[in-house]
Chain A
């Protein structure tokens, strides 16, 4: 009985979410879990709302709860994906990467009855890349900071400012001083302004002190020929060329042909390229004293 009432409340929460009424949705999901606390989907849904509200701690708690209920090895790719986003929001890129890889893996090798969206592999693959960039950017920054590097110090200060400004928007939203759309626009504006400032800062430092702040070239073999982004799960075709798995899957959906030769090609013809994958990993690890200019 209680679980039925909880489902009703969950449905109402879903409707509110679709209408963009995030605070309302959150409240409904909260009522739902109070009625019945063992439905992992309610926690996942509430985590999704909390992502919109940029309530990163809440997201992590809800996803962890959902995963605890289903079991860490069971199919729960949405929870892992939301968890990764929450962890990234909290500036824990290492954990975010682990979560993102789990979500990606679960979508690549789903349980028989799993409900996967056609866009999930592509979305999760792109998010893995985002986490990798964040992880190595944070690691470089930390190393520079320990060396007393001024640029690192300034970037850290700007990031703190960003979080303060975003928290302010969330507070105003909770106090109904701002509408959902306005809050979302403000947050977007804050982040974009901050990203521009950091980009300018890096340009200035690179110009002033090129030896220490020189951008490093990304080797061609690490780059996917279609997206021009570095790869994390490369797969190889019969003629020896490799592509990011999610990218070539998307291409094959529209045109089951080899991108270079136009010979017929299907997913079954693809093979993982472990050697190249190791080379890509090594590229990420070799950060050393350089950072990459166009990470954005």
Chain B
């Protein structure tokens, strides 16, 4: 229902332009359907305190009933890298249960997703890519929402 996502995104945008948690900032939301956020990870030596990571949110007409598509972006100007994490592929695709069909709930919002991702990075201890990263990046043709990740590593 296109109406539902439009109204909801407008209201989220209005709220987000007010106050955001530390380390999270709105970069753009010109087209309501696609937003970009910048993220800093506090207190974790794996991620330099001044290194910013760019998240791209893409919303379908059925948001928030359907989860948004959230990926990290690799940019050169300004420079944005893909953070090292055993659940983040080098093409920016994120393996997080709350972004999945089963794990998503419509009471989540852009802010709560950013906080969850920030927290996932802040508590990380392994500066590595997921197993099979090179193969995945080379051969993957599916959209993130259609990939069924197996979450068998609850320690990360």
Contact = CB atoms under 8 A, between A and B. Distances in A.
Interface in A90-105: none
Contacts of B66: 254
Nearest to A123: B1
B1 A119 contact: yes
Contacts of B10: 294
Contacts of A167: none
B22 interface: no
Interface string B62-76: 101110000000000
Nearest to B64: A226
B109 to A, nearest CB: 9
A225 to B, nearest CB: 5
Interface in A55-99: none
Interface stretch (B31-39, B50-58, B98-106, B136-144): B98-106
B107 interface: yes
Contacts of A122: 1, 4
A95 to B, nearest CB: 22
The A interface is mostly helix, strand or loop, or mixed, namely loop
A255 interface: yes
B31 to A, nearest CB: 17
Interface residues of A, number: 19
B21 interface: no
B78 interface: no
B106 A126 contact: no
B11 A226 contact: no
A259 B106 contact: yes
A260 interface: yes
Interface in B72-93: none
Interface string A212-239: 0000000000000111110000000000
B107 A259 contact: yes
A227 B105 contact: no
Contact of B105 (A123, A260, A294): A260
A197 interface: no
Nearest to B66: A254
A262 B1 CA distance: 23
A255 B101 contact: yes
Interface of A: 119, 122-123, 126, 225-229, 247, 250-251, 254-255, 257, 259-260, 262, 294
Interface of B: 1, 3-4, 7-8, 10-12, 14, 62, 64-66, 101-102, 104-107
20 contacts: A119-B1, A126-B1, A126-B3, A226-B65, A227-B7, A227-B64, A228-B7, A229-B7, A247-B4, A247-B65, A247-B106, A250-B1, A254-B65, A255-B102, A255-B105, A259-B105, A259-B106, A260-B107, A294-B10, A294-B14
